[in-house]
Structure 1
Amino acid sequence: DMVRDREQWYATRPDYMQRMTERSRRYLFHIVEEIELRNMPMELALLPFIESAFNPQAVSSARAAGMWQFMPATGESFDLKQNAFRDDRRDVLASTRAALDYLQQLHGRFGDWHLALAAYNWGQGNVNRAITRNQRQGLPTGYTDINMPLETRMYVPKLQAVKNILARPQDFNTTLPLIGNHPFFDTVTLLRDMDVDLIARLAEVDEKDFRVLNPSLRQPVVMAAGTPHVLLPWDNAIIFQRNLQQYTGPLASWTAWVVPSTMTAAQAAAKVGMSEKELRAVNNIPPRMRVRAGSSLLVPRTEKRNGDVPVHVADNGQLSLQPELVNGRNTITVRKGDTLSGLARRHGVSVAKLASWNRISVKAPLKVGQRLALHTPQRATQARSSSAKKVVSGSARKTVKGKPTASKTRVAATGK
Structure 2
Amino acid sequence: MAILVSLGVLSGCATHRSVDELPPMPAAEPSVDDMDLANGMDEPAPVETAPVAATDNEDLWIRLRAGYGLDLSVENDRIRVQRDWYARHPKYFQRVTTRSERYLHYIVEQAEQRDMPLELALLPIVESAFDPFAYSHGRAAGPWQFIPSTGDYFGLHRTWWEDQRRDVMKSTNAALDYLQKLANRFDGDWLLALASYNAGGGTVSRAIRKNEEAGKPTDFWNLKLPRETTAYVPKLIAIAQIVKDPEAYNVPLQPIRNEPYFAQVNTGGQIDLAQAAKLADISIEELYLLNPSYNRWATSPDGPHNLLVPVDRAEAFSTALAELPADQRMQWARYEIRPGDNLGAIARRYRTTPEVLRSINHLKNNTIIAGRTLLIPGPAAGKDTYTLSAESRLADNQNRQRDGRQKLSHTVRSGDTLWEISRQYKVGVKELARWNNMAPGDSLKIGQTLAVWTKGSSATATAATSRSDSNMVRQVRYSVRNGDSLYAIADRFNVSVNDIRSWNSKVASKRYIQPGQRLTLYVDIHQSY
Give me the TM-score of the superposition, normalised by structure 2: 0.53
Which of the numbers 156, 177, 180 marks the counterpart of 2:254? 177
Pairing of 1:142-291 with structure 2 (within 5 A): 142-223=219-300, 225-248=302-325, 250-253=327-330, 263=342, 265-266=344-345, 268-269=346-347, 276-279=348-351
Q: Structure 1 residue 140: deviation in Å?
A: 1.8
Per the alignment, residue 94 of structure 2 pairs with: 18
The AA in structure 2 aligned to 1:278 is Y
The percent identity for this pair of structures is 40
Instruction: Structure 1 unaligned segments of length 5 or more: list them.
Output: 270-275, 286-291, 302-320, 331-348, 357-373, 389-416
1:3 to 79, 83, 106: 79
Q: Distance in 1 between matches of 2:502 and 2:129?
A: 65
The change in CA–CA distance for 1:100 and 1:298 in structure 2 (over 3 A counts) is: farther
Task: Look up the match of 1:327.
Answer: 475
How many Å apart are 1:106 and its aligned residue? 0.4
What SS is found at the alignment partner of 2:140?
coil
Which stretches of structure 1, 4 residues or more, deviate above 4 A after TM superposition?
254-257, 280-285, 321-326, 349-352
| 1:343 alignment partner in structure 2 | none
Further displaced range: 35-44 or 167-176: 167-176
1:186 partner SS: strand
What is aligned with 1:115? 192
CA contact (8 A) 2:344 2:353 kept: no
Distance 1:351-1:89 versus aligned 2 partners, 3 A rule: closer
- Secondary structure in 2 matching 1:65: coil
Q: CA deviation at 1:378?
A: 8.1
**1:221–1:254 contact (8 Å) kept in structure 2:** no
Residue 209 (structure 1) shift: 0.7
Asked whether the equivalents of residues 219 and 282 of structure 1 are also in contact (C-alpha less than 8 Å), the reply is no
Q: 1:132 aligns with which of 209, 213, 223?
A: 209
2:163 and 2:234 map into 1 onto residues whose CA distance is 30
Task: Give, in whole Å, the separation in 2 of the partners of 1:216 and 1:298.
Answer: 24
Question: What is the deviation of 1:194?
Answer: 1.4
One-letter code of the match for 1:27? Y
Task: Give distance in 1, aligned partners of 2:355 and 2:196.
Answer: 36
Residue type at the aligned position of 1:8: D
- Please provide the CA RMSD for this pair: 3.8
Partner Cα distance (1:184, 1:139) in 2: 47
Code of the residue aligned with 1:279 in structure 2: it is: R
Shift in Å at residue 89 of structure 1? 0.3
Q: CA deviation at 1:86?
A: 0.8
Q: CA deviation at 1:383?
A: 6.7
CA 119–25 in structure 1, closer or farther in 2 if over 3 Å, else same = same
The residue that corresponds to 2:64 in the other structure is: none
How many aligned residue pairs are there?
316
Rg larger for: 1
- What is the alpha-carbon distance in structure 2 between the residues aligned to residue 327 and residue 103 of structure 1? 53
- Residue among 173, 178, 183 paired with 1:102: 178
User: Secondary structure of the residue that 2:102 maps to in structure 1?
Assistant: coil
Distance 1:46 1:251 in 2: 41
Cα separation, partners in 2 of 1:248 and 1:255, compared to 1, 3 Å: closer
Deviation (angstroms), 1:375: 7.1
Question: Residue 109 of structure 2 aligns to which amino acid in structure 1?
Answer: E
For 1:234-264, what per-residue CA distance to the aligned partner results, in whole angstroms no more than 9, with x for missing partners?
111122123233333624325799xx9x945
Please name the residue that 1:50 is paired with. 126
